[in-house]
Amino acid sequence: MQEIKNNISTPFSPHTQTHESSKCVESIVPIDTFSHHTQPHEGSMTKLQQFKTLVKKEFWTHKTNILLPVYIQAGLYVGIILICLISMIGGNMSLEMINNELMDANFGNLNTFFWFLGFTNVAILWLIFIIIYNGLTTSLVNDDFKHKCALFHTALPVSMMYKVAAKLFVLLAATILLYSGLVLVNVLVQIMVVKLILSNIDLSALFSYSFLGMFQGLIIFISSLLALFGLDWFFSAIFKEKTGTKTFSTIAVIIIFSSIIANFFGLVTQFKAFGSWLIRMFFPMFHINIGGSQLDYQTGRNIQILILQIWGMIFSGEMVARIILIVLLFAIGTIIIDRREIS
């Protein structure tokens, strides 16, 4: 224990590393910082300050994964700008040509066009976050154990629940705030581009449809992200290593076994209904019935029906059930992590 204390005597810095392994943790705080038994003195930290320090540690440790969606989006913008510049230099494209093309194009009803402009931005970024942040979730839960840092973290005089709460806060804050921020940037940039190109048309009244589509999309897709990350958090708490493979295998076994039981007892219809309900819990966007709205993309007829349908999905019993499922997955996973044994 004395050796552990000696190794963590350096002050907090995002660039500080442990003596034994740089992988163990990238930011260290003095052990006295967290102590509940030290006498109050000038500069001592409150519980809130301790929590903020833990959050900073998790952020600096996983900074690359957290900000990877930002780097990807920035790279896409750079690529688009380069393509446009090369096309303009080669004489294949100009603002006047783009303006003429857009003026001749048939967007149908502009209300529909701008609503989908906001909604599709949410959908595209959802896929990027699913790919990146599932790995981030596993990393937040298991990296300390994988790099044999469990003894180090247990030695700090802060409860494991407190440290897990910091990890969970980083995941939720990054998912909700960063995802919403990137979507908002995309929508604003696209609105500015459309306004610049079609400067001779007053589109101000239509931009509200973009923000409406964005807002509705964010609620639907963020609920999906949190449900999927909650599932990943739960299974990462159970499996310390090879989480993805073991999670997939476990779910496959559960599905096959449940299907056999359902067929044996003649409950196939109920089994399919339950399976459909679970899919809606994790992927609600796949059940947006655009065709059922009888949407006419040329005239924009019944766009209001589609908007009302999505409001109905947001203010529904299934959304409440999804929120309860999210809370349960994160809560049970957190309890499992808190009671883990050091291996």
3-state SS string over 179-222? HHHHHHHHHHHHHHHHHHHCCCCCCHHHHHHHHHHHHHHHHHHH
In single-letter form, the type of residue at position 225 comes to L
CA 183 to chain centre: 12
Please give the full DSSP string across 78-120, using - where no structure is assigned: HHHHHHHHHHHHTTS--HHHHHHHHHHS----HHHHHHHHHHH
pLDDT of residue 169: 93
pLDDT of residue 171: 93
User: In sequence order, what are the residues at sequence separation of 6 or more whose Cβ sits closer than 8 angstroms to the Cβ of residue 25?
Assistant: 17, 18, 57, 61, 144, 149, 152, 153
Query: Does residue 104 carry a pLDDT above 60?
Result: no
Structure tokens at 104: 């001749």
Given a contact cutoff of 8 angstroms between Cβ atoms, the answer to whether 154 and 339 are in contact is no
What's the burial of 111, exposed, middle or buried (CB within 10 Å: 0-12/13-18/19+)?
Answer: middle
Quickly count: other Cβ atoms within 10 Å of residue 159's Cβ. Answer: 12
Which of 26, 30, 25, 33 has the alpha carbon at shortest distance from 11?
Answer: 30
Query: Does residue 29 carry a pLDDT above 80?
Result: no
Q: How far apart are CA 307 and CA 110, in angstroms?
A: 15
pLDDT band, very low/low/confident/very high, at 113 (cuts 50, 70, 90): confident
Q: Based on DSSP, count helices (H) and strands (E) in the chain, helices before strands.
A: 14, 0
Give me the mean pLDDT over the 273-301 stretch.
70
Q: How far apart are CA 292 and CA 267, in angstroms?
A: 29
Give me the mean pLDDT over the 95-107 stretch.
53
Give me the mean pLDDT over the 108-118 stretch.
78
Give me the mean pLDDT over the 181-206 stretch.
80
Residue indicated by tokens 């963590």: 8
Distances (CA, A) of 233 to 105, 137, 146, 321: 47, 6, 16, 18
CA geometry: angle 65, 61, 26, nearest 5 deg? 145
SS3 state at 301: strand
From 99-108, 163-172, 327-336, the region with the lowest mean pLDDT: 99-108
Query: What pTM, to 2 d.p., does this model score?
Result: 0.78
Given a contact cutoff of 8 angstroms between Cβ atoms, the answer to whether 281 and 313 are in contact is no
SS3 state at 71: helix
Q: How far apart are CA 295 and CA 119, in angstroms?
A: 15
pLDDT of residue 301: 53
The residue among 240 and 24 whose pLDDT is bigger is 240
Query: Does residue 123 carry a pLDDT above 80?
Result: yes
pLDDT band, very low/low/confident/very high, at 226 (cuts 50, 70, 90): very high
Q: What percent of the chain has pLDDT over 90?
A: 27
The residue among 125 and 89 whose pLDDT is bigger is 125
Q: How far apart are CA 123 and CA 213, in angstroms?
A: 11
pLDDT of residue 200: 66
Which of 107, 116, 170, 123 has the alpha carbon at shortest distance from 143?
Answer: 170
Given a contact cutoff of 8 angstroms between Cβ atoms, the answer to whether 322 and 227 are in contact is yes
From 118-122, 226-230, 302-306, the region with the lowest mean pLDDT: 302-306
The residue among 253 and 303 whose pLDDT is bigger is 253
Region of residue 302 (phi > 0: left; psi between -120 and 50: alpha; otherwise: beta)? left
φ, ψ (nearest 5 deg) of residue 296: -100, 110
Give me the mean pLDDT over the 298-322 stretch.
82
pLDDT of residue 6: 47
Q: How far apart are CA 140 and CA 65, in angstroms?
A: 10
Structural domain boundaries of the chain? 46-69+107-338
CA 328 to chain centre: 18
Query: Does residue 59 carry a pLDDT above 70?
Result: yes
Residue indicated by tokens 């067929």: 263
Distances (CA, A) of 7 to 3, 29, 53, 185: 6, 11, 18, 43
Q: How far apart are CA 114 and CA 55, in angstroms?
A: 38
Give me the mean pLDDT over the 62-71 stretch.
92
Mean pLDDT of the chain, nearest integer:
77
